Chains A and B, each alone.
Chain A
Amino acid sequence: MPHLWLRVAVAFYGLGLIYALIALSGRREVLARIILPAVGLGAIFHFVSIAEAYAVAGDLAPANITQSESLLAFVLMASFFTVYWRYKTTSLGILVFPLVFLLSLSASLGQQPPQFISPLLGSGWIAVHITLILCGYAALFFSFVSSLLYLLQEQSLKSKNMDGVLSHLPALEVMDDIGFRSLLLGFPFMTFGLIAGCVIAQASYGPTYFRDPKILLTLLMWAVYMVLLFSRWSAGWRGRKAAVLSTVAFVAATLAWAANYFSSVHRYVAQ
């Protein structure tokens, strides 16, 4: 069975999803104790499944879209545990767990996934490109989540009503720190990932690749990323402004990801 370990991981991530739903309704004491070991086990099985896929294919590059989804989900989990280790908060899981669950579920259900076709497959460039870009996506998502939670917490502090979910959120400055650091860390990943992508595209298609919608969307996302980073760094934008910019960057990233399905130069072709 091809996706055995991934499916085991999905089962554990399902607990994470339940946790997120319960946390949103304001109660979380019961699940909080078992949730970290559960999703941690999930991540270990997930790692096994990725290692297995690599052993079968003999190439680090995710060969099709389900493998990319799986890898992105894994990078998100790894980032979640990094944040937990550094800040001792599981609150980001409220949004991270559902996304991880959906991505890995979709990956584990994919039967005959479309393949990515490029003359550079197997050269290592693609592996580097995809891994770096996925780390960049994960960073962007974390900054998006923490700025949303920041906004929520700020609203509740201003409205002077702190019941339910909000009473468990980490402090504003902690959330701000998580958001800013993930942006800062993610930026080089994103930039070098894009450069690697350009090298591949240049080699495969020559200079015409630039007019492709996927490439344009990606550049837009990178530009928003820059603005976001710069505005936070220079003017210390937080709260609503940062949340709006983060959302724009996140939407651009989602579109860039979705563009895989209609781009002519960067797509997974059904077999």
Chain B
Amino acid sequence: MKYCLIGINHRTAPVEVREQLAISVSDLASALRQLAGRPDVDECFIISTCNRVELLARSPEIAPDLRGFIADYFNIEIAGLQQHLYERRDKDAIRHVFRVASSLDSMIVGEPQILGQVKESYAVARSVGAVHSHLDVLLTRAFATAKRVRTETSVGSSAVSVASVAVDLAKKIFGSLQGKQVYLVGAGKMSELAARHLMAHGAAAIFVANRTHDRALQLAAKFNGRAIRFEQLYETAADADIVITSTGAPHQIFRREHAEMFMQRRKNKPMFFIDIAVPRDVDPTINEVSGIFVYDIDDLQSVVQSHVADRQREAQRAEAIIDVEVERFVNRLDTLDIVPTIVSLQDHLETIRQAEIDKVRGRLGKLTPEQELAVESMSRGIVNKILHTPITTLKTAARDAKQKDPEATTIIELVRKLFNLNLSRAADDQHEREHAEEKKEILKP
């Protein structure tokens, strides 16, 4: 059994290199078919996102030549990519798949999108038949592991971008953001992003004030909000619950006297200033006014930093879960390897038994139900007694084979040869039975 994974990601290659190997969603099915069509590949799986392209393949005998496929498929000189590509085999490949699905290999550890992307690719690979038995088990297990990581650690729970931290803080102040008014002072990419996040969480009206009124009008139109002339800023700002400032002004726009005036007009209802301008637009001492909260870009970024640190701590715990799951999976693979042999051995003897009974039935004449039962149980007893020792030996051999014991491998091979067992069909049935339930669960939207 050989698993082989080759890939390129945000750590090993810059985007200029990654984009050369990207496979778009529409090309994924045909790429999978091509890879699966290669003689050294039994099953294969491809994931291609903006941060990574990875090929995973399985073959029963030799390690599949994935570099060759990359060179052929992309029509590219593989030597130039050598320094960016990483390769994982067998247990390491399994661990890598588990880590990717659990978002431990992501640029932002714990981000939730990657699991969805892996699941989508899995659905495509299944539909074209590139994934059907062993890889199916592997990926299903990877999804279950990702779910375990998500529920048992808090690796994905804290906000790690400036915009989402701003939303978190706003929720700490206002509870629900439903109906809260957001005021954008100055038009910048970052403040636009923050406003978009706030709106996605229910914030309602958006006011926009900008030195150049045309730009304010444009931005207001984007958010379905109201553009306000900069001269009217101080009269209108008291209506806003959340003020996001990002002007290029060299002096402070909101000073203490403004803050006190706002609070008086608002009957002390809390107000949240998010100041992402450098130099700052909001006098930091306003934070001392009761009911007003000022966070500048450094404050937000330090919250982000501490959350990133939290995530790293949680990622340690997640790695421990991955270790356990990989170990469990590898153990299961070993028995999976032997189970088809045992099943087909049983099938083989059962066929012989049935045939022999049918043969002698004519000579025995009419049997009473008791006699019928006796013949049945006698023949079954003989078969089971004969099979008992070989099955036990096979199970032990499977465990020993894992320890790279050459004799154990020979035993398994010998049994297969002795009884001329054809394994592939039995193995497929086995997987189908074992994972029908699990798959149903995973594929639920």
Which residues of A does B touch, CB under 8 Å?
A: 153-154, 157-158, 160, 162, 170-174, 235-241
**Bound CA span A154–B291, Å:** 8
Asked whether B270 is an interface residue with its Cβ less than 8 Å from the other chain, the reply is yes
**Bound CA span A239–B289, Å:** 11
Min CB distance B241 to A, Å, is 9
B238-271 residues at the A interface, CB under 8 angstroms: 266-270
Number of B interface residues at 8 Å Cβ cutoff, please give it.
20
Which residues of B does A touch, CB under 8 Å?
A: 169, 171-175, 266-270, 287-288, 290-291, 293, 295, 299, 302-303
In the complex, 6 of the A-B residue pairs with CB atoms within 8 angstroms, ordered by the A residue number, are: A171-B173, A172-B174, A173-B173, A235-B267, A238-B270, A239-B268
A153 neighbours in B (Cβ, 8 Å): 172
Min CB distance B306 to A, Å, is 9
* Complex partner residue of A239 from B169, B172, B290, B302, CB under 8 angstroms: B290
A236 neighbours in B (Cβ, 8 Å): 266-269
**Bound CA span A173–B268, Å:** 11
12 other A-B residue contacts (CB within 8 Å) besides A158-B293, A173-B270, A238-B290: A157-B169, A157-B173, A162-B172, A170-B175, A171-B171, A171-B173, A172-B172, A172-B175, A173-B173, A235-B267, A236-B269, A239-B290
A174 neighbours in B (Cβ, 8 Å): 175
- Contact assessment for B270 and A172 in the assembled complex, using a CB-CB cutoff below 8 Å: yes
Min CB distance B274 to A, Å, is 13
A173 neighbours in B (Cβ, 8 Å): 173-175, 270
- Contact assessment for A240 and B290 in the assembled complex, using a CB-CB cutoff below 8 Å: yes
- Contact assessment for A241 and B174 in the assembled complex, using a CB-CB cutoff below 8 Å: no
* Complex partner residue of B172 from A157, A238, A240, A241, CB under 8 angstroms: A157
Secondary structure class of chain A's binding surface, majority of residues: helix
* Complex partner residue of A235 from B172, B268, B270, B302, CB under 8 angstroms: B268
- Give the number of residue pairs across the A-B interface with Cβ within 8 Å: 47
A237 neighbours in B (Cβ, 8 Å): 268
- Contact assessment for B293 and A239 in the assembled complex, using a CB-CB cutoff below 8 Å: no
**Bound CA span A158–B287, Å:** 7
Closest residue of chain B to A238 (Cβ to Cβ) is B268
B266 neighbours in A (Cβ, 8 Å): 236
**Bound CA span A174–B174, Å:** 7
- Contact assessment for B291 and A239 in the assembled complex, using a CB-CB cutoff below 8 Å: yes
Min CB distance A139 to B, Å, is 21
A240 neighbours in B (Cβ, 8 Å): 290
Closest residue of chain B to A163 (Cβ to Cβ) is B306
**Bound CA span A171–B295, Å:** 17
**Bound CA span A10–B295, Å:** 45
- Contact assessment for B295 and A160 in the assembled complex, using a CB-CB cutoff below 8 Å: yes
**Bound CA span A174–B268, Å:** 15
- Contact assessment for B175 and A241 in the assembled complex, using a CB-CB cutoff below 8 Å: no
Closest residue of chain A to B298 (Cβ to Cβ) is A160
- Contact assessment for A160 and B172 in the assembled complex, using a CB-CB cutoff below 8 Å: no
**Bound CA span A115–B266, Å:** 51
**Bound CA span A236–B263, Å:** 10
A238 neighbours in B (Cβ, 8 Å): 268, 270, 290-291
Closest residue of chain B to A176 (Cβ to Cβ) is B270
B175 neighbours in A (Cβ, 8 Å): 170-174
Q: Which of B172, B175, B267, B270 neighbours the largest number of chain A CB atoms within 10 Å of its CB?
A: B172
**With A153-B172, A171-B174, A173-B174 given, is the CB distance from A160 to B267 under 8 Å?**
no
A170 neighbours in B (Cβ, 8 Å): 175
**Bound CA span A238–B270, Å:** 9
B291 neighbours in A (Cβ, 8 Å): 154, 238-239
- Contact assessment for A160 and B290 in the assembled complex, using a CB-CB cutoff below 8 Å: no
* Complex partner residue of A160 from B173, B174, B270, B303, CB under 8 angstroms: B303
**Bound CA span A104–B160, Å:** 46
A160 neighbours in B (Cβ, 8 Å): 295, 299, 302-303
**Bound CA span A222–B113, Å:** 57
